Structure 1
Amino acid sequence: MAVTELILIRHGESIGNVAREEAESSGAPVISMPMRDADVPLSETGVEQARAVGQWLAADPGRLPDMVWSSPYLRARQTAQTALAELTNPPALRQDERIRDRELGVLDLLTRRGVESRFPAEAERRQWLGKFYYRPPGGESWVDLVLRIRAFLADLERTGHGRQLIVSHDAVILLFRYVCEQLDEDRVFQIARTGSVTNASVSRLVRQDGEPGWRTAVYNDHQHLEAFGARPTEHPGELDAAR
């Protein structure tokens, strides 16, 4: 049996999300974070959100995945592990580096103000090229994420089946839609302009068994958080995501 459903979960709120918001609101050029991006953990709110995801899964056996995949970044792994702890017989959890967050290279930990003051030429180049194709020095463009996702899905098609749950990051989740629905650049930015992917939100891509085409059944839904007592939070991972 082929893969018929992808449940895409953004990680819960991280302390990095909170630190970025504080830095942007105060006008600071640099985000205060004493650890590398891969090691940033969930906030207390993020843990509650992850627990709510698990309770949502446990409430309906029809939602249970056949396999769970996680970005290797700590905030995603914690989200997956916390959610699975709510299940009586949790499925296997696997990590895959191809669904990790976008690498920002020299722009890592810089706010919008920081980029404009320290790398004005890069700010201009980003504005000219647009988010889809702009690659910061030492970092990745959205197209680079697309290539990672295509490789991940190709392997998943060969080895997976049924319902697959993927815990990842906001831009990655949006670009799963780009790949699976065969969208173009304009359409993906139309979706981005409607708002960022909410922490611990659920998106579902579905298709009939054996058919190649995917459709989005649910996108960026967070009703389960409120239903199970967790507060929704919206922290754009990349402030210029809407181009």
Structure 2
Amino acid sequence: MSGSTEPVRGRDRDVPLSELGAAQSSLLGNWLAGQPPGREPDLVVCSPYLRAWQTWDVMADRAANLGKARLHALVDERLRDREMGVFELHPPAALHARSPEEAARREVLGEWCYRPPGGEAFTDVAVRVGQFVSDLGRAAPGRRVLIVAHDGVIIALRHVAIRQKAHRLGGLVAR
């Protein structure tokens, strides 16, 4: 898909799980089923996007087939994929073909700071994910939580976790 000069049709939230994603989800189901008592999640929170829900369904079905109880997943809109605005579902080559000046701006700013028109920078994703983590900490203290989301959300979660750890240690975080 990344070499295509055409955008993908539809809406990002409706993109289904790929065959590779389904196979990977089944392997994650094996991992989930193999978690010893006390190490398995007791709460699942999922992105509202179709492919994330399908990921959880495949994982949960596989783990259930291997003897684990199936958990009900909650949805949180803050775990949605990074919004790309007017360039939604545009692979990099399609962005270059449609708007070379915007592609150049993306390269200059870098992925962390690039905000497409009508979309989000990773900094924006980190803000909403940080609020999710803060709310989750108050609503579910001590719970083992499995988050089913997207690469942009994982990047933001790592950023939030590093900043929280540094804050607890009283240190500064290099940017």
TM-score bin, normalised by smaller chain: 0.7 to 0.9
Is this contact kept in 2: 1:66–1:162, CA < 8 A? yes
Please say if 1:154 is aligned against 2:130. Answer: no
Aligned to 2:104: 124
Gap runs ≥5 in structure 2: 170-175
Is this contact kept in 2: 1:30–1:109, CA < 8 A? no
Structure with a larger share of its residues in strand: 1
Distance between the aligned counterparts of 1:48 and 1:90, measured in 2? 19
CA drift at 1:65 = 0.2
Aligned to 1:69: 45
CA drift at 1:135 = 0.8
Distance between the aligned counterparts of 1:157 and 1:83, measured in 2? 25
CA drift at 1:59 = 1.7
Please say if 1:37 is aligned against 2:37. Answer: no
Distance between the aligned counterparts of 1:149 and 1:121, measured in 2? 30
One-letter code aligned to 1:121: E
Please say if 1:115 is aligned against 2:95. Answer: yes
CA drift at 1:64 = 1.2
Distance between the aligned counterparts of 1:79 and 1:118, measured in 2? 32
Distance between the aligned counterparts of 1:100 and 1:157, measured in 2? 19
Structure with a larger share of its residues in helix: 2
Distance between the aligned counterparts of 1:44 and 1:124, measured in 2? 33
Secondary structure in structure 1 of the residue aligned to 2:144: strand
TM norm structure 1: 0.61
Distance between the aligned counterparts of 1:110 and 1:45, measured in 2? 20
CA drift at 1:91 = 2.5
Secondary structure in structure 1 of the residue aligned to 2:120: coil
Task: After superposing the two structures, state which structure 1 stretch, 37-46 or 158-167, moved more.
Answer: 37-46
One-letter code aligned to 2:31: W
Aligned to 2:172: none
Distance between the aligned counterparts of 1:109 and 1:39, measured in 2? 11
TM norm structure 2: 0.82
User: CA offsets, 1:208-239, max 9 Å, x none?
Assistant: xxxx57xxxxxxxxxxxxxxxxxxxxxxxxxx
Is this contact kept in 1: 2:48–2:75, CA < 8 A? yes
Distance between the aligned counterparts of 1:181 and 1:60, measured in 2? 25
User: CA offsets, 1:65-96, max 9 Å, x none?
Assistant: 01001111011111112211223322231011
Gap runs ≥5 in structure 1: 1-19, 184-206, 214-243
Change in 2 beyond 3 A, CA 1:110/1:65:
same
Aligned to 1:134: 114
Aligned to 1:47: 22
One-letter code aligned to 1:173: I
Runs of 4+ deviating beyond 3 Å: none
Secondary structure in structure 2 of the residue aligned to 1:132: coil
Distance between the aligned counterparts of 1:93 and 1:135, measured in 2? 30
Percent identity, aligned pairs only? 42
Pairs aligned (count): 161
Distance between the aligned counterparts of 1:29 and 1:157, measured in 2? 43
One-letter code aligned to 1:135: R
